[in-house]
Structure 1
Amino acid sequence: MRSQHVFAAMVLLSMAARADEPKLFQKEARLSFEKSISSALKDANTACGTRLKVKTNFNWFNPKDWDGVGYEDSCKEVLLGIATTCARPENKKALAKKVTGVACLFTWNVSEMALYGALNPEHPDNKQKLGTNDTPPRNVSLSKGLLMYEMHKGDKAIADETRTVLEEALKAGSR
């Protein structure tokens, strides 16, 4: 068990070291990403009457992980979810107060990390994050004004998930 923790720590430290040095392909990917999502961001800001900005962590971007998949399209879906939620007049003002920023984040593949013992998907504390009883994991969350989307290759219904998270936050705020 101790060797698993040591290995997990080594993996995390090497990833952290790698994360500190953005590579040229990551800088180019960021510029392409920002250009690609600009129209969807403008639409969301217009619909909500906000000045949201999208942040991401391109220091974790690996093009091999996204081969043939438009990661920027996933983030556009989040912005679409925001815009369609604001399309309802009763949501617009409240949502503008609740959401102050958006983060579309590259993540580790949790199942691969589990193979190395860094995270045990069978542990009870991990059930909510990984999804249980045919409930898919939730990749969109709202905390302290930041709407965060943890991007994974092959995610589906991202705009719907975003709307669900936002509607839940609006209901909670109206109580």
Structure 2
Amino acid sequence: MNKENAANSKNIRNSVEQKKLIVVNGTMGVGKTATCRLLNKKLNNSVWLDGDWCWQINPFVVNEENKKMVEDNIQHLLRSYLSNSTLEYVIFNWVIHREDIMDMVLNMVKDFDFQLFRITLTCSEEALIKRISKDVEEGLRKEEQIEWSLEKLPMYGEQQTIKIDTSDIGVDETVERVLEILEGI
């Protein structure tokens, strides 16, 4: 791990007993859900919250009332997980394409003591198009999500996170890299 990545993981590692909050972000199609699902299985005493679960509204409507509800639900769950004495790892994934969204999430739990790991999954445009197109064919995503995701992809390079490029690696290797990050800081 380089010095920049280590520096980006501030406010961490004061004690072994300290909970670990692992925030995994990235645009649609980079592998957040698959990575966090497997990571949750590999880490004992862990819980996983996918921020998209809080947006399972049909029809999908983004308005102030729904945004507030989603934020409240995320806050409640993260705080509950961080309060639970049986949990060591709290895994949270979401799109989080802007720093102000990351700040909002972290402000929800700022009064808790935890090690913070901010990890961004990214990939090439070609890999992203291929992945989302496959999801479109399977009815899991809509065609317009390709353009939206491509538009947001460059925003992740600017964030103060540890980056993992998933273009040419599978979920198992991505999870192994996350585990190395957790052990190496």
TM-score bucket (shorter structure): under 0.3
Larger relative helix fraction: 1
Structure number with higher relative contact order (C-alpha < 8 Å, ≥ 6 residues apart): 2
TM-score (norm 2): 0.26
